[in-house]
Structure 1
Amino acid sequence: MPVKFNVGDIVKMRKAHPCGSDLWQVTRTGMDFGMKCQGCGHFVMLPRVKFERMVKSVVAPAGE
């Protein structure tokens, strides 16, 4: 069953960002996903297919 991602979710990725953090906040959903690094604040856009493949887990759902 596919996992639903919402704007504001904090997700753990399979690979760490060069700053050392592997936690990202989802800022945009759709065909492309926007993510903001929780370590340094860098913003990245990824295609949906690559995003879904790289996500390890949802750490904190939106609204918590």
Structure 2
Amino acid sequence: MYGMHDIVEMKKPHPCGTNRWEIIRMGADIKVQCTGCGHIVMISRRQFEKRLKKVLEKHAEN
């Protein structure tokens, strides 16, 4: 599963060439930020789960 501040890979790469996204907000919608150019996108949880390929890095919780 995925959580806040995890780095995820989506099925399609971002136009900047990077395919790594950081989850910065979770709720009914999920806000992700491109780790390459910093672009922020907000998509519905349903679309996010459909487009998610895999979780690359889990955020270390204290």
Find the counterpart in structure 2 of residue 30 from structure 1: 27
TM (norm. structure 2) is 0.93
What runs of 5+ residues in structure 1 fail to find an aligned partner? none
Q: Root-mean-square deviation (CA), in Å?
A: 1.2
Q: For this pair of structures, how many residues does the alignment match?
A: 61
Letter in 2 for 1:52: E
What runs of 5+ residues in structure 2 fail to find an aligned partner? none
- Could you list the structure 1 runs, at least 4 aligned residues long, displaced by more than 4 angstroms after superposition: none
1:21 is matched with which residue: 15, 18, 29? Answer: 18
TM (norm. structure 1) is 0.90
Identity, % of aligned positions: 43
